[in-house]
Amino acid sequence: MTSPDASQPIPRPFDRRDAKTLGLSALGGALEFYDFVVFVFFAKTLGALFFPPGTAPWLAQLQVYGIFAAGYVARPLGGIVMAHFGDRLGRKRMFTLSVFLMSVPTLLIGLLPTHAQVGALAPLLLLAMRIVQGVAVGGEVPGAWVFVAEHVPRSRVGIACATLTAGLTAGILIGSLLAAWINTRYSAAEVQAWVWRVPFLIGGVFGFVAVWLRRWLEETPVFVEMRERRQLARQVPVKQVLAAHRPAVVLSILASWQLTAAIVVIVLLTPTLVQTSFGIAPAVAFHGNSLATLALMFGCLAAGWAVDRIGVGRALLSGSLGLGVAAYALYGALLAGHEAQFVAWYTLAGFCCGVVGVTPALMVAAFPPEVRFSGLSFSYNVAYAVFGALTPPLLAWLAEAWGPLAPAHYVAFTCLVGMGVALWWLRRPLNTPL
């Protein structure tokens, strides 16, 4: 296994500088990820406003989910380009650029004209903004993981990556809380009239705050030492990854598939799915989502702690099993008519989604420093582009065959994939490159 901090052979303790870097990175990531995910919490409203009047609700919903998915499809482009320059010019520069590229389109979404004002141009403008958001987040998330992993001691890479992931999750929580408050405070007519714009305008401001915060971060010690020793990638980094690190790419893509299922299905889509399939009130759905997302933050930290204590393989194996069981418990309780227990089961499922905190530590360990950003970014973003984009329409199709339990079946299948990855990791010889 490649050391996550190969240029620091002498162990050192986690110090105040590490804590500052981790805190600023997590806070900036939270503000940016809020910008990316707030879209899904207002999917119904956007479907009604940006498509022709009279469009069947299910069709408008499918169309707006298609625009939501476009953000995932655009992620590999941003990830590959930013990772290329991140491996050649430095982690910090791309880390700051990505958050700026996210804040601008988020602000503009809050100012867009609707279909009633500009006709067919409205969904095209919404699609364009979503693509730019996808480009930005494609560089942000992998860059953030690499950035914090290369700053902290080797024995703290698991908790560092998990803390950053919890920070990203906090962005989802902010969006969920805001959506819950809006749905409680305002009527549906008011939300559709003007209130829907507020979360996007706030998100634009959040993004510029994150840009300012990242001015205080320093380049990673790993990249500085590679630059001084002239060990930076001489070829195109992603080309080098595909030529020499294919097993690491495959393993990372499979692990990221489970991550997409946990986040997209359990955290992002469940509030809408339970309203449609089980008649859960919007306020209750978003209240449950807020608690589940808060629990996810603690679940990520638990997963990171487990990585540093028992290793990537065992942490991924136990976490995958827990997530599969929790997904069936959540949707099974609703199918059995236990709507009153929805919030409790959703909170448990959110905590079990914390297994996603293992994935970045696995990917950081899978690639050597000179191509780490490109390798991690390519694998993660390809997985999100394929599986993240396909998940919403795929669930709609699977629901016809599997009924209301379709989300649980899908998540459980990806958990089997995650367990397979964990078993493969545990059986490989220790300290050997992939």
| pLDDT of 3 higher than 50 | no
Q: How confident is the model at residue 88 (pLDDT cuts 50, 70, 90)?
A: low
Q: What is the pLDDT of residue 21?
A: 72
Residue 433 falls within a domain, yes or no?
no
User: What is the sign, positive or negative, of the torsion defined by CA atoms of 11, 17, 19, 22?
Assistant: negative
Residue 41 falls within a domain, yes or no?
yes
Instruction: Compute the C-alpha angle 21/308/258, nearest 5°.
Output: 90
Residue 37 falls within a domain, yes or no?
yes
What does the alpha-carbon distance between residue 374 and residue 369 come to, in Å, rounded to a whole number?
10
- pLDDT tens digits, residue range 320-366? 999 999 999 999 999 888 888 899 999 999 999 999 999 999 999 88
Residue 427's region, left for phi above 0, alpha for psi from -120 to 50, else beta, is alpha
Q: What percent of the chain has pLDDT over 70?
A: 86
Most confident listed range (99-108, 204-213, 404-413): 404-413
For the record, the structure tokens of 401 come out as 């065959």
Q: What is the separation of C-alpha 81 from the centre of its chain, rounded to a whole number of angstroms?
A: 19
Using CA atoms, how far residue 278 sits from 223, 272, 333, 382, in Å, is: 51, 10, 11, 33
- Lowest mean per-residue pLDDT among 17-26, 191-200, 313-322, 360-369: 17-26
Q: What is the pLDDT of residue 233?
A: 53
Q: What is the pLDDT of residue 6?
A: 42
Tokens 């389109």 label which residue?
105
Provide the 10 A C-beta neighbour count for residue 397.
11
Q: What is the separation of C-alpha 90 from the centre of its chain, rounded to a whole number of angstroms?
A: 23
What does the alpha-carbon distance between residue 120 and residue 130 come to, in Å, rounded to a whole number?
16
- The count of residues in the chain is 434
CATH code for the domain in which residue 42 is found = 1.20.1250.20
Domain around 355: 16-427
Residue 9 falls within a domain, yes or no?
no
Instruction: Select the more confidently predicted residue: 71 or 291.
Output: 291
- pLDDT tens digits, residue range 399-422? 888 888 999 999 999 999 999 999
Helix (H, G, I), strand (E, B) or coil at 332: helix
CA dihedral 215→219→220→223, nearest 10 degrees, is 150
Tokens 């469009």 label which residue?
55
| pLDDT of 4 higher than 50 | no
What does the alpha-carbon distance between residue 125 and residue 200 come to, in Å, rounded to a whole number?
15
Residue 5 falls within a domain, yes or no?
no
Residue closest to 149 by CA, chosen among 375, 323, 320, 355: 375
Residue 164 falls within a domain, yes or no?
yes
Residue 6 falls within a domain, yes or no?
no
From first CA to last CA, the distance across the chain in angstroms is: 7
Number of folded domains that form the chain: 1
What does the alpha-carbon distance between residue 372 and residue 367 come to, in Å, rounded to a whole number?
5
- pLDDT tens digits, residue range 56-68? 776 776 777 777 7
Q: What is the pLDDT of residue 5?
A: 44
pTM, two decimal places: 0.78
Instruction: Select the more confidently predicted residue: 242 or 138.
Output: 242
Residue 3 falls within a domain, yes or no?
no
- Burial track 134-157 (b if 16+ CB lie within 10 A, e otherwise): bbbbbbbbbbbbbbbbbbbbbebb
DSSP alpha helices (H): ranges in 192-269? 197-213, 221-228, 237-244, 246-260
| pLDDT of 69 higher than 80 | no
- pLDDT tens digits, residue range 244-261? 888 999 999 999 999 999
Tokens 């993240």 label which residue?
388
